[in-house]
Amino acid sequence: MTTDRERQPRVILHLDMNSFFASVEQAHDPKLKGIPMAVAGNPKERRGILVTCSYEARALGIYTTMPVGEAKRICPNLVIVPPDHEKYRVASNAVFTILRLYTDLVEPVSIDEAYIDITNIGGLTNARQIAEHMQQRILHELDLPCSIGIAPNKFLAKTASDMKKPMGITILRKRQVPDILWPLPVIEMHGIGKSTEKRLNEIGISTIGDLAIADESLIKNTLGKNGIRLRNRANGVDYRPVDPDAAEERKSVGSSTTLPIDETELSACLEVFKQLSEKVAQRLDRRQLAGNVIMIQIRTSDWRNQTRSRTLINPLYKAPDLYKEAAALFKQHWDGDPIRLLGITVSNVIPINELNEQLSFDSFERYAKEAKMDELVTELEKKFGPNSVKRGLGER
């Protein structure tokens, strides 16, 4: 049932820093401005990947996650710099500090984007003026460009912020949705990736407009609850509030249980993990989250606590996948001692509808770790010869 709060017109900004890591590097070194440049986890090796690149590089067909070697083939003069985690964190904190000078209703989404509710500090009448002031202040004080979308809800604000880059400000009203969004292919809609696009295409839905007017039961049967959410958003409907505490609340989702007896049977422990996987999956589903770090907790009968974790390339949110990873970790690390408590936690979580967005800072750091592994492989190959080292598929 729609509440009075949900009916109240809101004015939401989505602020998206433009090519953030590259822009921070350019702010620190003006010689990097106006040229094709990129940040890469391992700039010395052709196996490294680009974490981000300047708009001058993008104009040449270079993009985030492209291998360094391929980017260099496209643009031999591409300047590549190594990442500086601390530099980006400091810049991000400075951006959010500026945003919170306007209102406390600031919800960080990642290191370089946020939602801001300005309903009570000017509303739609002064929305563009407020957005311009934010944008210019961030540019003048931090030398960092950003784009801002203005809309009555989060989905439309995020969509609007993508319409003009860099340094754009776009207002997107709900009544404009049929003209602006409906003609676009569904893959252009936030929250829809390749697999969802394929499933929608299979039932005859190819545009956002097709999704908006599709039979609700057909969508639910195809995509479940998330399908209904996507259909609502295709119609410009999104009641999610701007929540300043959301980033903290969604860092992890977990569940644990104390066993009725000190358990020593593997099959019984695995059954507990299966039940815990179901609970965690339900909690992730309720909050529409997925995470790529899974951790298990083991407490033995003598109250020794152990935690073991694994970082995965693809975020998890379904019970069978959670169980598979948890069971594998448990089998690998349990020493056979009687068990009093078991738990599963999924962390580094993000909204499911953002799984296909640009690299988050956490995933960037994961790629940076992969780059360090590339460096080690290179050194070993220098010593023992080409192709003498093969990477395994074990725990990351």
Residues forming the active site: 113
Task: Say which residues have a Cβ less than 8 Å from residue 94's Cβ, sequence separation at least 6.
Answer: 141, 142
Question: Kind and range of the H or E element at 11?
Answer: none
β-partners of residue 349 are 291
**16 has binding-site annotation:** yes
8 Å CB contact between 10 and 154: no
Cα Rg of the chain (Å, integer): 23
- State whether residue 259 is helix, strand or coil: strand
Classify residue 111 as exposed, middle or buried by CB count within 10 Å of its CB (0-12, 13-18, 19+).
buried
Task: Say which residues have a Cβ less than 8 Å from residue 280's Cβ, sequence separation at least 6.
Answer: 253, 254, 255, 319, 322, 344, 345, 346
How far is it, in rounded angstroms, from Cα 325 to Cα 70? 34
**H helical segments located in 75-126:** 85-99
DSSP assignment of 353-386: GGTTSSPPHHHHHHHHHHHHHHHHHHHHHHHH-T
**117 has binding-site annotation:** no
DSSP assignment of 118-174: -GGGTTTTTHHHHHHHHHHHHHHHH---EEEEEESSHHHHHHHHTTSTTT-EEE--G
Structure tokens given for 20: 């953030």
Query: Please, what is the end-to-end C-alpha distance for the chain in angstroms?
Result: 44
- State whether residue 29 is helix, strand or coil: coil
- Please give the annotated binding residues for Mg(2+), written as ranges: 16, 112
- Please give the annotated binding residues, written as ranges: 16, 112
